[in-house]
Chains A and B, each alone.
Chain A
Amino acid sequence: GAVVSQHPSWVICKSGTSVKIECRSLDFQATTMFWYRQFPKQSLMLMATSNEGSKATYEQGVEKDKFLINHASLTLSTLTVTSAHPEDSSFYICSAQISDTQYFGPGTRLTVL
């Protein structure tokens, strides 16, 4: 089946630093990828839709200047959490779509101290 990878799988950083998370589609090309965030015991919340070659579309309440998304190729989308704060600590998951099915990456657990 389709495989989506993420890197890193976990990261711990100091408050104020920026963290980049990569999402790759390993055996297919994805013009659209999605970035989600999941806080403990809560549902996945869509943050933004990443479109190859164009600007990402952000969901209401998600700051585009804080969560920078770059989708420079058909197999790679990156999410950069700028000036991270403890409240940004969460599980970040990307997905890529084939037909009507979304395949999720393994997620990145971010802890901001």
Chain B
Amino acid sequence: RKEVEQDPGPFNVPEGATVAFNCTYSNSASQSFFWYRQDCRKEPKLLMSVYSSGNEDGRFTAQLNRASQYISLLIRDSKLSDSATYLCVVNGVGSFDKLIFGTGTRLQVFP
């Protein structure tokens, strides 16, 4: 089983749609969770950290369910510029600093 699993997509949605991505992680001891965004042939960029209480940043909402070991990202009112690959990231076993990346979920927003 992969340490971090995501549906690769692609998710093709129209502008203005709401789209949700889920991610599961295998290590129950993980403490830090993130969503990164990666554009084609570019480096990942931090979108948001994910906190136990859930957190929101504009159109983006992240949720963490420790009991089920899954993380979600909700994007409301999708924009064309949201088209990218969204990476679920969890800190590694035994090391707070190491990051384990999912393969990413590709989102394509069309007009």
Contact = CB atoms under 8 A, between A and B. Distances in A.
Contacts of A44: 44, 87, 99, 101
B110 interface: no
Contacts of A105: 43
Interface residues of B, number: 20
Contacts of A91: 41
A43 interface: yes
B59 interface: no
A101 interface: yes
Contacts of A87: none
Given A49-B97, A100-B32, A100-B96, A42 B42 contact: no
A109 interface: yes
Interface string B74-104: 0000000000000100001000111111111
A32 B43 CA distance: 18
